[in-house]
Amino acid sequence: MELAVGSTNPVKVDAVERTLERYEPTVTAVDVDSGVSEQPRSLEETVSGAENRARRALAATDADYGVGLEGGVARLGATPGLSLIMWGAVTDGDRLERGGGPTLRLPDRVAERVSDGAELGPVMDDVLGTENVAEAEGAAGALTDGLTNRTRALGEAVASSFGPFVTAYYDTDA
């Protein structure tokens, strides 16, 4: 199975490799434009970024599937505050499937800065006293004390968006 991931971020590539390891994939990282803001600020923008990454990664390669992953922040009507969200998209060129990863409420002091226009990664680096947290444990790891991390969280988005391609439950003929 040949997979093209629409990112060169090692955490995103690792999330795809680990999640789909039983299929023994060959994974190629492809530097593509997400077509959305560097910091997506809505569910719609985050999902659109994942879709664009999946389509563009597939178009740039001869892979069987294109995979796109996007993290963003959004206000979700049923929950208070600003949340970190993670979405994945997978395409084989005909179908496009989407799936979400975990959603985490951001601490108020982080949410305020992000709401004022800052990007989450640099804000988290400032709060944590780190550099490049987005390529390590991510905000998900820091905000859960390691109960999850960015690789696992993105992996859930991979699993949720890839599932329809590997099960018969989504077949329209079944």
Taken in order 54, 55, 61, 65, is the CA torsion positive or negative? Answer: positive
Residue 104 near residue 80, CB atoms below 8 Å? no
Give the range among 53-67, 83-97, 159-173 with minimum mean pLDDT.
159-173
Residues annotated within a binding site for Mg(2+): 33, 62
CATH code, residues 2-104+149-165? 3.90.950.10
Q: Is the pLDDT of residue 174 over 60?
A: no
Q: What is the pLDDT of residues 28-76, one digit of tens each?
A: 999 999 999 999 999 999 999 999 999 999 999 999 999 999 999 999 9
For the chain, domain boundaries: 2-104+149-165
Residue 48 near residue 98, CB atoms below 8 Å? no
Residues annotated within a binding site for substrate: 7-12, 62-63
Residues annotated within a binding site: 7-12, 33, 62-63
Residue 87 near residue 103, CB atoms below 8 Å? no
Residue 45 near residue 73, CB atoms below 8 Å? no
Name residue 18's amino acid.
R
